[in-house]
Amino acid sequence: MPVPKKERTTSNPGSQTVEQASSQVPDQQTFHEHLRALTRNAVRVVIEEVMRQELKAFLGAAWGESTPQRKGYRNGTYTRDLATSSGPIEDLEVPRDREGRVDGLAPRCAYPWSHPHGSHRHRWA
């Protein structure tokens, strides 16, 4: 005795129209903007971590650590903007030491550029 077919309750994967499929795929410009944003975020994370490690090596101690080799103490951070080929990275956190002896952590200023909001900012190389 034949068994009646059950009705499908899910859509058939091949039944999508071209319009539905194309609306789910971003255009090339949107995709590239997304990649540039991801790149800027990755560069920010790496640069900030490298600067923290450089300060740790310079001071001779990790944050909160007491060692006889310690040469100084941390004193928070300040911010800098960094221009990259993927776009500007704004408010990059640069760690500093209490005595102001660490000068080489932030990338060197290559030339000034105008910030779109009128405040003077620098482009770092």
For the chain, give every domain's residue range: 28-124
pLDDT tens, position by position, 58-107: 888 888 888 888 888 888 899 999 998 889 999 999 998 888 777 655 55
pLDDT of 97 reads 87
* Residue 55, Cβ density class (10 Å: 0-12 exposed, 13-18 middle, ≥19 buried): buried
Average pLDDT, the chain: 76
Characterize 75-109 residue by residue with b for buried, 16 or more Cβ atoms within 10 angstroms of its Cβ, and e for exposed.
eebeebebbbebebbeebebbbbeeeebeebbbee
For the chain, how are helix, strand and coil distributed in percent, rounded to 5?
35, 25, 40
Least trusted range by pLDDT, from 7-11, 28-32, 39-43, 96-100:
7-11
**Interacting residues of 115 by C-beta distance below 8 A, sequence separation 6+:** 81, 121
Confidence class for position 122, pLDDT limits 50, 70, 90: very low
Residues 81/35, Cβ–Cβ less than 8 Å: no
Tell me the residue length of the chain.
125
pLDDT at 13 over 90: no
Going by the DSSP 8-state scheme, the letter that residue 15 receives in this structure is G
pTM of the predicted structure, to 2 decimals: 0.62
CB atoms within 10 A of CB 59: 22
- Give the pLDDT of residue 20: 60
- Do 60 and 68 touch, CB atoms closer than 8 A? no
